[in-house]
Amino acid sequence: MNIAFREIQAKQGYWLTMLVLGALAGAGVLSALYMEHHGHIVTGMTNQIVWGLPHVFAVFLIVAASGALNVASIATVFGKTLYKPLNRLSALMALTFLAGGLMALVLDLGRADRLVVAMTQYNFKSIFAWNVILYNGFFAIVIAYLWTMMDRKGSPWYKTVGTFAFVWRLILTTGTGSIFGFLVAREAYDAALLAPMFIIFSFNYGLALFLLILMGLYKGDNRPLGDKLVNRLRSLLGTFVAASLYFTLVYHLTNLYFTKHHGLEAFLLLEGGIHTQMFWLGQVLIGYVVPMAILFNPATNGRGWTVIAAVAAVLGGLAQMWVTIIGGQAYPMDMFPGYAVTSGFYDGVVNAYSPALVEILLGIGGVATAVLLTVGASKVLRFMPERLDDETLVALHGKH
């Protein structure tokens, strides 16, 4: 038995969704144009908090994009054929979420008009330059991967290209984590752990988003989606959330052990105001505790609970990016250890940051673009199996 893939239908709900997403994406682009015209003076970003909310959304989306490919990798690389019907949507989301993330990232550049310079001039000691290559390469490889899935002519290379894509995505997320890991100046960064931690985060955020898009598209298009598959993905998400918590624990325990990082930890965990709240309420409670409580509890097995758990994991992911990116910059750099420092340039003080509306719109615009491209592509090409009910899956794979 073969599984049939079909485009989603263009019903009223589809167009309404596209309209809302299009408006949000458009608002993001308009915000970027406004920033481009007036300069970053119209944002909440400063010479102290140099990366702001657009980066929180952008890095989250980029990390999630590489994680969204996991479902396909599990099918292709690790031979779990149960997931194979999902591999097209998985690869599609890897492309669209990377596009949304990069949109937010590049439109925030001080000179977004010089994007071509970033594509043509490389300093190979810079992990940023490597990331430009890794992101562009990822697009090319995942498109090739989709071709091996969707075109008979490509199918002989399915496993090879899929394996290559899997390795590439691991390198890509290593590169994204290393953007922070390679920063020697700031206490919150400068740690090799950030690269593998970002990979684990990507598993978590990518799968949470994948579940939400999968359930949303199947419900929106009235297609059957059985518990067999959803429950597998649920357990997997629970494992990834727990692994994220583990890495977070190790990161903070290591810092807590080193006296020189006690100030940073006191700031993040106790005294950091919004950043402390983002950590305990956002990253830990909403991002880890709530999803695990739902996903590991057989009593909260319903579809509604799964949506809540996945949404919580996504919100926790955004909170984590806030803590990592904004919290890491808000804590003052220790230029003179053992000294209290003051100056007219905000040395020695916790740096304030309140994002402007344009930043919020640009960040949300990136998310909207990612979802818009996913839904739009599902309408144009055959990314989604017609049915994924339990009977179909049992017929395909047996009871396991």
CA separation for the pair 296, 290 (Å, rounded): 10
**Total binding residues for another protein by CB under 8 A?**
51
Non-local (6+) Cβ contacts of 143 within 8 A are: 95
Q: Is 183 in the site for another protein (CB under 8 A)?
A: yes
Min dist. Cβ of residue 189 to another protein (A)? 8
Q: Is 192 in the site for another protein (CB under 8 A)?
A: no
Q: Is 262 in the site for another protein (CB under 8 A)?
A: no
CA separation for the pair 9, 47 (Å, rounded): 48
What is residue 323's DSSP assignment? I
3-state secondary structure 260-315: HHHHHHHHHHHHCCHHHHHHHHHHHHHHHHHHHHHHCCHHHCCHHHHHHHHHHHHH
Partner residues linked to 384 by β-bridges: 6
Question: Which segment (22-30, 82-90, 180-188, 247-255) binds another protein by CB under 8 A?
Answer: 180-188
CA separation for the pair 323, 188 (Å, rounded): 10
Residue from 259, 344, 399, 400 in contact with another protein (CB under 8 A): 344
Partner residues linked to 385 by β-bridges: 5
Question: Which segment (26-34, 70-78, 279-287, 339-347) binds another protein by CB under 8 A?
Answer: 339-347
Could you tell me the end-to-end alpha-carbon distance of the chain, in angstroms, rounded to an integer?
17
Residue from 1, 2, 12, 111 in contact with another protein (CB under 8 A): 111
Question: Which segment (60-68, 140-148, 176-184, 235-243) binds another protein by CB under 8 A?
Answer: 176-184
**333 or 396: CB nearest another protein:** 333
Cβ(190)–Cβ(183) below 8 Å? yes
Assign 85 to helix, strand or coil: helix
Angle at 324 between CA 323 and CA 329, to 5 degrees: 90
Of residues 128-147, which lie at the interface with another protein (CB under 8 A)? 128-129, 131-132
Assign 151 to helix, strand or coil: coil
Question: Which segment (126-134, 221-229, 306-314, 382-390) binds another protein by CB under 8 A?
Answer: 126-134
Min dist. Cβ of residue 206 to another protein (A)? 24
Q: Is 182 in the site for another protein (CB under 8 A)?
A: yes
Q: How remote is the C-alpha of 48 from its chain's centroid?
A: 25
Q: Is 399 in the site for another protein (CB under 8 A)?
A: no
**37 or 400: CB nearest another protein:** 37
Residue from 50, 140, 143, 394 in contact with another protein (CB under 8 A): 50
**228 or 275: CB nearest another protein:** 275
Min dist. Cβ of residue 169 to another protein (A)? 21
Contacting positions for another protein (CB under 8 A): 36, 38-41, 45-48, 50-51, 109-112, 114-115, 117-118, 121-123, 125-129, 131-132, 179, 182-186, 329, 333, 335-336, 338-347, 351-352
